[in-house]
Structure 1
Amino acid sequence: MTNTTSYPIPVLGGGVPGNSDVASRWEVKDITVETMTEDVPIRMRVCCDDPDLKKLLDAGDVAIKARWDCPSTFSSGYLDLSKIQPHADGATYESSIDQRMICNWVTVSIFVVACRNIPGFHWERQHPDYGDAAFDVSAGDLLAVPQQFSFIPEKLYDPQRPPLNSIFNIVRDNSRKEGIRTELGQDQIEVQCGKDLFDNLQLWTSARLQLMSVVFPALIDAIGYMQENEALGENGDLSMKWCSTLRELIQSAGLKTDKRPLELAQKLLRQPIDGFLDEYTNQIKGQ
């Protein structure tokens, strides 16, 4: 059967191999990311041979968009894509991310979104199960399953102006077989992952998985330390730069530092457990 659970209409990349929603190619390849620069350039080739998508793109009814997410800095945003090379089956796009906004794993999602309402839309190559059915597409609807890739940037750091939000540094601890521990440094919180855990995380493209399994518990630990030392008054040690950053993040989110660490961490990370389970459930439904 085709994929009718995750999306209200048949979409490019939906269904399963050999039994797709739409019998057209949809993939992202030839990805290059240059690091050690002030702005991190990203280049990708978006491939799709569907004639209906081409018509929609040419008419401005839909657009190819890309969104990035960096759990370590609690930052995300849309890439400003520029088409630099057209191809018979799509185009090559490029964009960039300010290196001060990212640290450790960054995940980029590429998708097709409707820019306006498209009543009575019909894919010429849609699965026979749909017959001649037409669909009312609303502005904001996705017409393709998001394609994802992840990378870890090598960053330039100005010692006089370190990145404001980069408070975590996730590293591989070869002396540990499992689990994580935190080392509260002066500038950053080093999250030391067991070697198997670290290696396994690199096999996943989901930034939300790393957010839930590594950043979330480390953030709870950091908030707990900060609260304990705030309670000590003059005897507490809050001299670390990451403490100032964390306090600023809490205040900018409209939260109070006296809330329990678990509650604060969940709100700062926008409910990481729910987010990962929603993402994983949608992937399962789309298979």
Structure 2
Amino acid sequence: MATQGSYPHPVIGHLDDVNSTFELSTATVTPTTEDIEIRLRLRLDDPDLRRMLDDHSAALVFRWSCAATLAMGVLHPYVGARHVDGETWVATIDQQEVRDTVQVDISAIAVQPIDAYVLERQHPDYGGQTFTIRAGDVIAVAGSFDFEAEKLYDPLRPPLGSCFRFTDDPDQRRGLEVKFFDDDQVVVSMSPQMRASLQQLSDQPDSQVALVVLPPLMQTLSYIRDNEISHDEDTTSKRWYTTILDLANKAGGLDEQLIGLAQRILEFPIDKAVQARVPLEEDDE
């Protein structure tokens, strides 16, 4: 009997659901100054999935997640090259969203509902059974892979995301702690429970920024402002210091109220988070 696992219908590439090949052959990851390019060569010999990809009733997706930045997303790749046994698919991730290890899961999903879904090569134990497929349902899986997010920054425009590192602290019970000891990044620690909760907001990136980036940025701006006045600490080796100071000066300068300055640097994440949940009504006047 075919093992269906968590899927209520046969899925190509999942155990012995379907007698076909859909798998990752090779993966190449190339950093640029703005994005990280992912090129995946996939082997495919299933006629039904081939037809659905060609007529766009199915689409390939790369679902990625990064524990270091709490970010996740879905990429919609394009065909970069065709081969006898499949294709090479290409997509890019904004390098500001990832750091350290990134996991990518490869699957194909239905673009539209299918009322009588049946596959030519589905396991004999399914018999002639048909299935109802909804738009967004997974119909094929090709596995997953991890990569280390090596980046190439424009040295004149390093991204703000490169200045912070979020870590777990099992001894921390509540809130965030901001530490300035590291030369490469401001270290922001939180409890493992808070980190897990924040990851549940992966579909609300502006809320994540408002909750976990805005407060540390305000504290960092306060640290920089105090040090620019007192010069108590030698910050020449702290790369994040110069980057954030430059962003602050471009956004109005350290004489501004820090909450307003931080919001301008982050492009007003609180406004975006609220508007995403409760769209503002347009003034009819």
Q: TM-score, normalised by structure 1?
A: 0.60
1:252–1:45 CA distance, 2 compared to 1 (3 A): farther
User: How far apart are residue 79 of structure 1 and its match?
Assistant: 2.6
Instruction: List gaps (5 residues or longer) in structure 1.
Output: 172-178, 193-210, 231-235, 256-287
Q: Residue 58 in 1 paired to residue 37 in 2? A: no
Alignment equivalent of 2:71, drawn from 69, 75, 89: 75
**Which residue of 1 is the match for residue 185 of structure 2?**
188
**Which residue of 2 is the match for residue 162 of structure 1?**
158
Is the CA contact (8 Å cut-off) linking 2:69 and 2:166 kept in structure 1?
no
Report how many aligned residue pairs link the two structures: 218
Give me the CA root mean square deviation. Answer: 4.2
Partner SS state of residue 48, structure 2: helix
Is the CA contact (8 Å cut-off) linking 2:23 and 2:142 kept in structure 1?
no
Amino acid at match of 2:185: Q
Alignment equivalent of 2:83, drawn from 87, 90, 107: 87
Is the CA contact (8 Å cut-off) linking 1:102 and 1:166 kept in structure 2?
no
Amino acid at match of 1:35: P
Q: In the TM superposition, what are the counterparts of 1:231-270 in structure 2 within 5 Å?
A: 237=223, 241=244, 251=270, 254=273
Amino acid at match of 2:110: A
Partners in 1 of 2:17 and 2:47 — Cα distance?
A: 15
Is the CA contact (8 Å cut-off) linking 1:168 and 1:189 kept in structure 2?
yes
**Which residue of 2 is the match for residue 7 of structure 1?**
7
Question: Larger Cα Rg: Structure 1 or Structure 2?
Answer: 2
**Which residue of 2 is the match for residue 113 of structure 1?**
109
Partners in 1 of 2:269 and 2:57 — Cα distance?
A: 40
Deviations 1:105-148 (A, max 9, x none): 22222110001111211112111221111111111111023521
**Which residue of 2 is the match for residue 147 of structure 1?**
143
Deviations 1:195-216 (A, max 9, x none): xxxxxxxxxxxxxxxx75xx99
Is the CA contact (8 Å cut-off) linking 1:101 and 1:163 kept in structure 2?
no
Deviations 1:213-242 (A, max 9, x none): xx99xx9xx97xx69x97xxxxx7476759
Q: TM-score, normalised by structure 2?
A: 0.60
Amino acid at match of 2:27: I
Partner SS state of residue 165, structure 1: helix
**Which residue of 1 is the match for residue 280 of structure 2?**
none
**Which residue of 2 is the match for residue 28 of structure 1?**
24
Alignment equivalent of 1:124, drawn from 120, 128, 146: 120
Deviations 1:145-178 (A, max 9, x none): 352112112212345433223454489xxxxxxx
